[in-house]
Amino acid sequence: MSGKHQNKFGMGCLVLFALPFAAVGVVMTVLTVRSLLYWLKVQEWAETPCTIVEASLKESTDEDGTTYRAVARYKYQWAGREYECDVVGVHGGSDNLGKFQRNKAAELMKYQQSGKPFRCFVNPNDPSEALLYRDLRVGMLAFKAMFGVVFGGVGFGLLVAGMWGAKTVRQEKQLRELHPAEPWKTRKDWASGRIRSSRWGPVVGMAFFSLIWNAISWTVAAAFFFGDEDMPIWVVAICLGFPVIGLIMLGYTVYLAIGATRWSGSELELATLPGVVGGRLAGVIHAPAGLELAESFLLTLTCFQKKTRSTSDGTETYEDAVWQADQEIVKTLGGEHAGKTVIPVGFTIPYEQHPTDEDAGFLWRLEVQAEMPGVDYRASFEVPVFKTEESSAEPPADESLLEEYVAAPSFESAVSRAGGRLLSQTGYRSELVFPMGRNLGLALVITVFAAIWTGISVGLLYSDAPLLFKIVFPASDLLVLAMAAWMWLEKTSLSFGADGVDVQGGLLGMGKHRHFEPGQIKKVVAEPSGTRSGATVYQQVTLMTKIGDAEKLVSGIRRRSDAETIAAKIEELVGIARAGSADKRQEPESGISLEIPLSEE
């Protein structure tokens, strides 16, 4: 089955999978609204003495645990006539949220045994309707609402996604039939050469995930806080931990939404259609006005491959960065055009890289960011990159179009941006140190998460939770704590020169000292480290030996160009001939003009 047919079949399955979720969401939402309306209604009923005839606690046990239900039968008089009823509370059915059912059953059995009169609430308009307790159980109401929100959100979200995806597949099929030899014309934005920023995609995704997380965590917290039993400290830790994480995610969602609103409307206009493997990707970005205040723009072009891996919950799809290049633009194209800031774009793509291929999971993404007061500017564009007649294994002539716009990388600035310090430098040797806590932002995020997760894990150890929870949560917490400790305490000392490379890293910089003679070293490269934070793919500098070993020298570098500059400097001082500079691989060459028409919005 081809990739396109697989997509169509998958979307049909997605719709079928979503229907039960949507149905459960609708049913639970109806039950939630009905319970709330019933509670409002009974507040106007009249209080009347009654006699408890029968009272008991009904228990039901299954694989999910034991639930309880207070049952009773009582008699009362209204307007000289005797009535009998068995409705106990606003919320019917069995549950195990708190001790409501058990406490009420005990109270009713006490009145039954003593024969003392109790009280009920009677509907004056229909005296046959009555109930014993008209309290609103906030936890129970929140529990029903949570199911409505979560199941309804997932179900209808998947339905919308499925219908939208089916529409996209039909459109792509029509365009594919019109342009069988030009796959970059299967998307309208690619075919037009004007690609809108996908800034709102991460906002929607984060908002949806945040909604689901908060709906569940706040519901569970409400069920405990508004329950009938005193909570031990471990319950408080669990109840507060998950909602706090939810608030952090909600705050980040708001931050993303503010940025998407402030910097909306970015558009990439391609001068090369498509981008060429073994050639160039060039064009301009029409960004919102006012960005001229930015000192520079970091442009990053990344080739991702979608992969699937096994997890404890099954499988998950993720994006693996297989190639990346970046450049720092320090000058825009002639100020503003039609109320826009115009940013030049130009990359050379190596011939050995993979073209855009949906079936194989390869996609190319151009991202631009700039530091601005308040919310930083960010935009993302999925770009077409294919092999064409212009593709060549030979690198283009070394004449850069963006020479006056791109900041020339320097070894000193690369080390500084990577969080390192240059201790000494001569014409034949350099000594660097990458101190502890150099990635402060990432370290703080992981530390906050670790603190919350630790509170939850400790609480579970003191709880009556199932043994599996007491094992899984603390075990995962140990991994998170180890990661947080590494971010704060990892230190690397690196020196290199004509006599080879020396490196010592690890916690507090106390790891094993390693020395590599020049004759052992094949090359030094920059490559993804496997760590991502948002759109940032962290890089590492790796030493490749002639016997095929890969030795990590330093990691946690935010920019690909900085990692490549450090790698190139190591090779230079060690005396290894380099096949081509990092600059030449990243810069676009002559033959493409950036003076393309700048159309009005």
Residue 553 half-sphere exposure, CB side, CA atoms within 13 Å? Answer: 32
- Pairwise CA distance, residues 413 & 454, whole Å: 38
Q: Calculate what percentage of the chain has a pLDDT beyond 90.
A: 39
Distance CA 239, CA 221 (A): 5
pLDDT level of residue 600 (50, 70, 90 thresholds): very low
What percent helix, strand, coil does the chain show, rounded to 5? 40, 30, 30
Instruction: Give the mean model confidence (pLDDT) for residues 541-560.
Output: 93
pLDDT of residue 62: 77
pLDDT at 363: 94
- The region of weakest confidence among 288-292, 342-346, 498-502 is 288-292
Same domain, 324 and 441: no
- How high is the pLDDT of residue 70? 94
Render pLDDT for 403-452 as a digit per residue (tens, 0 to 9): 788 887 789 999 998 999 999 988 889 999 999 988 888 888 888 888 87
504-527: average pLDDT = 93
274 in a domain, yes or no?
yes
Measure the CA angle with vertex 62, ends 217 and 460; round to 5°.
Answer: 40
Task: State yes or no: pLDDT of 521 exceeds 50.
Answer: yes
289: helix, strand or coil: coil
Partners of residue 302 on adjacent β-strands: 324, 365
Across residues 133-154, what is the average pLDDT? 82
pLDDT of the residue at 597: 45
Does pTM top 0.75 for this prediction? no
- Residue 201, pLDDT above cutoff 80: no
* Whether 467 and 548 share a structural domain: yes
DSSP 4: H
3-state SS class at 551: strand
* Weakest mean pLDDT among 6-15, 113-122, 315-324, 481-490: 6-15
What's the pLDDT band for 232 if we cut at 50, 70, 90?
A: low
Same domain, 322 and 466: no
3-state SS track over 47-112:
EEEEEEEEEEEEEEEECCEEEEEEEEEEEEEECCEEEEECCCCCCCCCECCCCHHHHHHHHHHHHH
What's residue 154's pLDDT? Answer: 81
Contact 267, 292 (CB under 8 A): no
Which range of 96-105, 215-224, 274-283, 468-477 scores highest in mean pLDDT? It is: 274-283
**Do 450 and 528 sit in the same domain of this protein?**
yes
| Segment (H or E) for 328 | strand 314-329
- Say if residue 438 is in the same domain as residue 580: yes
Domain coverage including residue 72? 44-133
Q: Pick the closest to residue 274 from 368, 191, 396, 347 (CA basis).
A: 191
Same-domain check for residues 328 and 357: yes
Q: How far apart are CA 470 and CA 475, in angstroms?
A: 9
Q: Which residues contact 499 (CB under 8 A, 6 or more apart)?
A: 429, 517, 518
In angstroms and rounded to an integer, the radius of gyration of the C-alpha atoms of the chain is: 32
- Identify the residue with better confidence: 354 or 187: 354
> Does 3 fall in a domain?
no
Same domain, 346 and 470: no
Least confident of 289-293, 517-521, 576-580: 576-580
Which of 543, 533, 528, 537 lies closest to 574, judged by CA? 543
DSSP E strands in 165-209: the ranges are 194-196
- Count structural domains, the chain: 4
